Structure 1
Amino acid sequence: MKKQNSLTRVTRKVAFGVTAIIVLAGSTMLTSCKKEKAKPEVVAVEPPSKGKITEESYQSGTHNGFFWSLWKIDGATGTVNYANGAGGNYSVNWNGFNGNFTCGKGYSVGSPSYKIGYNLSTYSNSGGGTFGWYGWSRGPYYEYYVNETWGAVSPHTGTYLGTFESDGAGYNVWTRWMTGKNIDGGDGFRQIYSSRVTKVPTGQNRVITFANHYNKWQSLGYTLGQLNIPAIMVAETWGSNTNGNINCTIWAQP
């Protein structure tokens, strides 16, 4: 989960205060249950020489039919390298990072009916932050997460609303009011999130039936608004001098 003073990360495009380099590089990427050679699209975001970013950086696009995005907060320092692999695969690694970033692959609009298959082949995160299904709603403004695993610092704060079962796993539900900027730059929004009781293991095919979480939140009195905003399988971190490495593949589960 992002810190209290974080800003919009998904749809707001702003000028870069860093140089974004897009190149092609050979790599072995995981797609569905098989590994194959691919030439991923690599987005390397480097800090300027004085170690200070003057603007938020945000990049997004489409790749192999999926929406992808990479966001980095103003003032962050350190190195983040994001790569789109074959199909629904992406990877990200970071070193000596100070601040907050999110990235991932998914769809250009959210939906309560999405059923997401995924395989998290690699996960390492020395800071805070989460991995899971992520998006926003308008009217009302919600930032929502289905947390499958998280870093060394637990994201579980706010009001605990109970536990339920989905896709063979137990999830704790939490909510909290945030006084920072919402997706459109206005003041204030609510976070609602389901977090697995136990972190998901790496290297296994898993499913998130988002309707189960959407309906559970609604039954607790927290109904999401319009979901015409990107929704992604997010990799997020925040903290000081953090390091990590994540590789994930997603697909539409029948």
Structure 2
Amino acid sequence: MRKRNSLTGVTRKVTFVVAATLAFAGTSGLTGCKKNEKTEPETTIAQPPSDKAVASVESYQSGTHNGFFWSLWKSDGATGTVNYANGIGGNYSVNWNGFNGNFTCGKGYSVGSPTYKIGYNLGAYSNSGGGTFGWYGWSRSPYYEYYVNETWGAVSPHDGTYLGTFETDGAGYNVWTRWMTGKNIDGGDGFRQIYSSRVTKTSTGQNHTITFANHYNKWQSLGHTLGQLNIPAIMVSETWGTNTNGNINCTIWAQ
């Protein structure tokens, strides 16, 4: 979570959703801080690079592959190498070297849903910068940016107001929220960020499940009900920082 001391930059999110909306307009109308389970975690602020305020985009690619929506975004002025590849089915991989800036990529669906149950296997994960890996999307009316963070890079994404801990799918999750004063996905002012982060980072090489309804319902019980989810939702891999390196390989499937 970046956005001026958060997981992701506001301009990146606006660009991601606007570009994805345009991509699907013709067919569908369209972020390392270890937490101790059952204890309130400390607030760790991850400062983004100054270029996160840039309101332009260097590149955005998206499409469909084996029935999944996929996207790759890089911030304006980013340098270094990023190599994204779609694999068989719900698999994708990305590796980067000497990267300066911010990128996001992943596979998922062209529209979100509170009932999605996602299976995933994180075959490999390394990230020397900030960022996160997990389920990600937006809602409208009201505007929310949401995450289910399964693991993260060397810089912790956790920030905002801690709302508590709950268990689902065999893991503990800490819930955080905060109000953001930047632009929402439609260019208006302000939106709220809500996210669940695993108490302990997910393991690699094993099958895991994200029952998104459990997060959706928990957030709702805490007074944060998501709005319309007719916006792409993806198993996101994100990184930001200076001279970062990493490698991620992930496969997702519907449970």
- The question of a shared fold, defined as TM-score above 0.5 by the shorter chain, is answered with yes
Match of 1:103, SS state, is strand
- One-letter amino acid matched to 2:17: T
Cα contact 1:90–1:105 (8 A) shared by 2: yes
Cα contact 2:69–2:108 (8 A) shared by 1: yes
How far the C-alpha of 1:73 sits from its partner, in A, is 1.7
Cα contact 2:84–2:95 (8 A) shared by 1: yes
- One-letter amino acid matched to 1:11: V
Aligned length: 215
Distance, in Å, in 2 between the alignment partners of 1:171 and 1:71 is 28
- One-letter amino acid matched to 1:116: I
Distance, in Å, in 2 between the alignment partners of 1:145 and 1:82 is 21
- One-letter amino acid matched to 1:160: Y
1:3 and 2:8 matched: no
**1:22-171 equivalent positions in 2, closer than 5 A:** 55-171=57-173
Cα contact 2:10–2:184 (8 A) shared by 1: no
Alignment partner, residue 185 of structure 1: 187
Instruction: Give the gaps of 5 or more residues in structure 1.
Output: 15-53
Distance, in Å, in 2 between the alignment partners of 1:193 and 1:9 is 20
TM-score w.r.t. the length of structure 1 is 0.81
Post-superposition CA distance 1:99-145 (Å, at most 9, x none): 21111000000000000000000000000100000000011111100
1:13 and 2:19 matched: yes
How far the C-alpha of 1:59 sits from its partner, in A, is 1.1
Cα contact 1:12–1:58 (8 A) shared by 2: no
Percent of aligned pairs with the same amino acid? 86
Post-superposition CA distance 1:40-67 (Å, at most 9, x none): xxxxxxxxxxxxxx73321110000000
Cα contact 1:6–1:73 (8 A) shared by 2: no
How far the C-alpha of 1:190 sits from its partner, in A, is 1.1
Range with bigger deviation, 185-194 or 83-92: 185-194
Cα contact 2:111–2:230 (8 A) shared by 1: yes
Cα contact 2:95–2:245 (8 A) shared by 1: yes
- One-letter amino acid matched to 1:135: G
> More helix by proportion, 1 or 2?
2
How far the C-alpha of 1:11 sits from its partner, in A, is 2.5
Match of 2:129, SS state, is coil
Distance, in Å, in 1 between the alignment partners of 2:57 and 2:15 is 13
Alignment partner, residue 203 of structure 2: 201
Cα contact 1:9–1:102 (8 A) shared by 2: no
Cα contact 2:92–2:107 (8 A) shared by 1: yes
2:226 to 213, 224, 227: 224
TM-score w.r.t. the length of structure 2 is 0.81
Range with bigger deviation, 152-161 or 76-85: 76-85
